[in-house]
Amino acid sequence: MKFYIATDHAGFALKEFTKEILHSLGHEVVDLGPYNDSRVDYPDFAKKCANAVASDEGSFGILICGTGIGISISANKVAGIRAALCHDAYTASMCRAHNDANILAFGERVVGKGVVESMIKAFCDTPFEGGRHANRVNKIEDEVCSLGADL
């Protein structure tokens, strides 16, 4: 799999470890920065990664900030991006199985290295289930998802 990765300053320290894990699993990694721990704004790096994933069919992304919240919210503004803020292997697996997530987001101040490794493995090993989930994902893309009683 091909991964674009970006962080802000609060996610910078986990970037090298995350890259090591991806490389050890045989994945291709494109590092979109930042390249030092100077203070930056997470929307700028979310946008770089989201645009790269959206324009490179079949690719995936990893985004890290302090909580994972700001950087995932920002990435989800880009058409075609489904960035999932995950906290454990279960959420990392389910975001692929049910949501066809193409970006895995997490918070350096929230999860440790062991959890990061388990999330990456779960994300990479889980295929999208399609079927009824595809209908729902299509509704996200169409921006016509109205939350009804029979979810």
* Residues belonging to the active site: 65, 98
Contact of 66 with 12, CB cutoff 8 Å: no
- The single residue among 10, 92, 119, 122 that binds ligand RB5, judged by CB under 6 A, is 10
**In this structure, how many other beta carbons lie within 10 angstroms of the beta carbon of residue 6?**
29
Q: Assess 95 for contact with ligand RB5 (CB under 6 A).
A: no
Among the residue ranges 28-36, 50-58, 62-70, 136-144, the one whose residues contact ligand RB5 (CB under 6 A): 62-70
Q: What's the CA gap between 111 and 27, in Å, rounded?
A: 22
Q: Assess 106 for contact with ligand RB5 (CB under 6 A).
A: no
> Assign residue 80 a region: left if phi > 0, alpha if psi is -120 to 50, beta otherwise?
left
Cis link prior to 34 (omega < 30° from 0)? yes
- The single residue among 19, 29, 37, 66 that binds ligand RB5, judged by CB under 6 A, is 66
Q: What would the two tokens of residue 120 be?
A: 């990456």
Among the residue ranges 65-73, 80-88, 132-140, 141-149, the one whose residues contact ligand RB5 (CB under 6 A): 65-73
Chain residues binding ligand RB5 by CB under 6 A are: 8, 10, 42, 65-67, 69-70
